[in-house]
Amino acid sequence: MQKSTFLLLAGSLFFVFACQDDQKERQSESKQIGNLHLKEAKPQPGKNLALRYNNDASTVEAAYYYMKDGKTYAEDLSLKDSANTWVANFKVPDSAKAIAFRFKVADSVDNNAAKGYTTALYNEKGEILPGSNANLGMYYQGLGANQKLEISKDSSMALIEKDLKENPDLQKDWDARYLQFLQQNKPEKAEAYAQSRMASYENDKDLNEEETQNLMRMYAITGQQKKADSLQTALISNFPKGEMAQRTLIQQAFSAPDVEAKVKVLEDYDKKVDNPEIERDFILRAIASSYQEQGNYEKMQEYAQQIQHKGIKSQVYNSAAWQMAEKGENLEMAAKLSKESLEIIKKEQEEQNDRREILTAKEYKENLDNSWGMYADTYAFILHKQGKLDKAISYQEKATKKMEDAEMNERLIQFLVEAEKYEKAANAAADFVKTNQATKKVKDWYLEAKQNLNNSKEEAEKELAALEEEANETLKSELKKEMLSKTAADFNLQDLEGKQVSLQDLKGKTVILDFWATWCGPCLASFPGMKNAVEEYKDNDNVEFIFVNTLENGTMEQRKERVSSFLKEKDYPFWVVMDKPVKEKSRSFKTAQDYGIEGIPTKIILGPDNKIKFKKVGYSGNNDKLLKEIEMMVELIEEESKS
């Protein structure tokens, strides 16, 4: 009996320990990344992956990004609420090499304390897939950086280097892309890598199209433009239906001196390319745009109708409709084209045939919503010209739903005041003022509307002042959340007079660095507002504006001449310094690179301690708002300096 009891006890203990071991094994097969729990520690392509995201928020939006060959593809991820946690189960795409997740809670993205939610992918043996680390490294410095991940460039580079070293067969897929990355971040390593890889191609006398393109790109990246041009000619000759030949035809279409020459390019394209793709639509757009400029709208439509890509076709129709409306001519045709652009976008919202891989279906729909709003603004503008005021208001109200475009907002208030719908005008204008989306015209119409509602001028002005105060408090609160305290990279740049300007020269001042180029439309559009800002602070010795010309082609002298002519023509009192390429003929620029400038215009605002306090990317189209933001940022920096 005692023996039986002992055996039973031993068996029970074995069962307990076995269960514990099994539980530990199952736990070891899962992976925890911040708030994200993956059921599989080593997920595989083509297999289902279950996940749990721990967050007690009432709503969470999610997406996943899968990577292959240095490209990123986005998909929405459907989450289900399950007792203070969110769960999902999806199939990892067969071709994926790595996966990243994005979780949006309320208006902010949870990026796992800037580390991101990412995982490599594995084969059935549990071995990391060739290309997985390289794709993650590229993601961290591309889309990941846009999502405010703070993975160091050295770490990302190490991932790519490790992958290419362990999997040399990947080299050709990554050569040009990796060299560009090195050139931008580690130019001292780029030279040796370029020489080694270019030599391997040059010694191969039987390069295919992709290999020839790789070598051509590496020549271009390293500033060997003559060799790059020579190879481009060879590519077009040896592969007349290839990617480079099609790109060259697009360039020819846009640079052709007249519309007849553009039509000839289209004829060449149709002879050479059996299965036309989006490149043909670009050529058609160039032809249609030329006919539009001539005012030959029938010919414009003849070529525009052939465009397959919905976004390109709707753009062409909207552009032509706007041009006609501005001139006050052919308003019936303008209305027809404008309405057609809206219908094209509506259909694409349902079908999503032209979605770019980098966008989720939801993001693409949001982009289409924005396009529809912009085209609705055009249609409303035309209806207003036709005297159809009520219908114009109806479309303008839809166009201004997001309240983000200053001119569109102005038109809505203008139409409402003209229609004597003063209460609606005052309410809409008040919303624009409170959200910092109002211009001076909107504020003037607000006062007019209020006075037509039997308010005295003094009462209306008092109410407007209260709205402005509310807007200022909101803006100040938002900017406080954006405030940084990052060490600024040192620089030593030359201005147009040849004077050297360094970061240390500016210590003790609040400095607005505006990164721009003469080819940048949004940069130039913001300059009237920047001129107002410069003039407002011209007598304040503690505030300095410096306009950093960057990402600009040409020699230093050519750039200086171009910039000087532009400033003189526009009468802009700007202090401009010239950013320098990381090396001769490079397309990467040192100061832009050091400050993480990925697009222009970008403004970096430095405090008196030479630290980065704000980084503002892009231009909203509202110069009044731009000036107010600068004033508020300067004020916040001054407050911080005194505390």
Same domain, 340 and 383: yes
Assess whether 53 and 34 both reside in one domain. yes
Q: Is the pLDDT of residue 9 over 70?
A: no
The verdict on 111 and 202 lying in the same domain is no
Q: How confident is the model at residue 602 (pLDDT cuts 50, 70, 90)?
A: very high
Which residues, other chains included, contact 283 with Cβ-Cβ below 8 Å and sequence gap of 6+? 249, 250, 253, 262, 265, 266, 269
Residue 73, H or E segment = strand 71-77
pLDDT digits (tens, 9 = 90+) for 373-416: 999 999 999 999 999 999 999 999 999 988 788 899 999 999 99
Question: Which domain covers residue 92, as residue numbers?
Answer: 25-124
> What length does the chain have?
643
Mean pLDDT, the chain, whole residue set:
91
Give domain status of residue 130, yes or no. Answer: no
Which among 479, 499, 529 is the end of a domain? 479
Whether 460 contacts 447, CB under 8 Å = yes
198 and 213 in a common domain: yes
192 and 52 in a common domain:
no
> What single-letter amino acid sits at 139?
Y
Question: What is the per-residue pLDDT for 8?
Answer: 38
| Residue-wise pLDDT tens digits, 275-293 | 888 899 999 999 999 999 9
| Domain CATH number, residue 629 | 3.40.30.10
* Among candidate residues 454, 457, 452, 450, the one with its CA nearest the CA of residue 433: 450
Peptide bond into 601 cis (omega under 30): yes
pLDDT classification of 620: cutoffs 50, 70, 90: confident
- Is residue 636 located within the same domain as residue 493? yes
- Same-domain check for residues 424 and 566: no
Contacts 24+ apart (CB under 8 A), 617-623: 618/522, 619/522, 619/523, 619/525, 619/526, 620/404, 620/406, 621/405, 621/406, 621/407, 621/525, 622/406, 622/437, 622/439, 622/529, 623/406, 623/439, 623/526, 623/528, 623/529, 623/532
pLDDT tens sequence across 478-507: 999 999 999 999 999 999 999 999 999 999
- Is residue 491 domain-shared with residue 636, that is, in the same domain? yes
540 part of a folded domain: yes
Whether residues 86 and 113 share a domain: the answer is yes
What does the pLDDT read at residue 130?
97
Q: What distances in angstroms separate CA 505 from CA 487, 502, 509, one per listed residue? A: 16, 5, 9
Banded pLDDT at 23 (limits 50, 70, 90): very low
**204 lies in the same domain as 269:** no
Over the stretch 576-599, which tens digit does the pLDDT of each residue have? 999 999 877 777 899 998 998 989
Query: Burial level of 225, CB count in 10 A (0-12/13-18/19+)?
Result: exposed
**In this structure, is residue 8 part of a structural domain?**
no
User: CA–CA separation, 62 vs 54, rounded Å?
Assistant: 13
For 453-486, b/e burial (b = at least 16 CB within 10 A) is: eebeeeebbebbeebbeebeeebeeebeeeeeee
Q: Is residue 234 part of a domain?
A: yes
Confidence band of 5 (pLDDT split at 50, 70, 90):
very low
Contact 411, 381 (CB under 8 A): yes
- Quote the pLDDT of residue 384: 98
State residue 581 phi and psi, 5-degree precision. -60, 150
Does 413 fall in a domain? yes
Q: Looking at this protein, which amino acid is placed at residue 589?
A: F
Picking from 284, 302, 320, the residue at the C-terminal end of a domain is: 302
- Domain CATH for 90: 2.60.40.2440
**Cβ neighbours around 370 below 10 Å, total:** 15
186 Cβ partners below 8 Å, 6+ apart? 153, 157
- Which CATH number do you get for residue 316? 1.25.40.10
Beta bridge partners of 614: 605
325 in the same domain as 454:
yes
Mean pLDDT, rounded, for 52-73: 94
The rounded distance, in Å, linking the Cα atoms of 615 and 606 is 9
**pLDDT of the residue at 187:** 79
Interval 360-372 mean pLDDT: 96
> For residue 317, which amino acid is it?
Y
* Paired tokens of 179: 């060299």
pLDDT band for position 94 (cuts 50, 70, 90) = very high
Tell me which of 216-225, 439-448, 457-466, 475-484 is least confident. 216-225
What was the pLDDT predicted at 300?
96
pLDDT band (50, 70, 90) for residue 1 = very low
- Among 479, 498, 523, residue at a domain's last position: 479
426, 554: one domain: no
The CA–CA distances, whole Å, from 266 to 239, 247, 300, 308 equal 18, 12, 14, 15
Question: Residue 296: what are its φ and ψ, rounded to 5°?
Answer: -95, 80
Look at the chain and report how many structural domains it folds into.
Answer: 5
Is residue 16 included in any domain, yes or no?
A: no
Per-residue pLDDT, 17: 42
Instruction: Write down the pTM of the prediction.
Output: 0.85
Using CA atoms, how far apart are residues 287 and 273, in angstroms rounded to an integer? 18
Q: Give the containing element (helix H, strand E) for 546.
A: strand 543-549
Does residue 134 fall inside a structural domain? no
With respect to residue 15, please indicate whether it lies within any of the assigned structural domains. Answer: no
Closest CA to 477 of 373, 334, 325, 632: 632
Per-residue confidence band for 165, with pLDDT thresholds at 50, 70 and 90:
very high
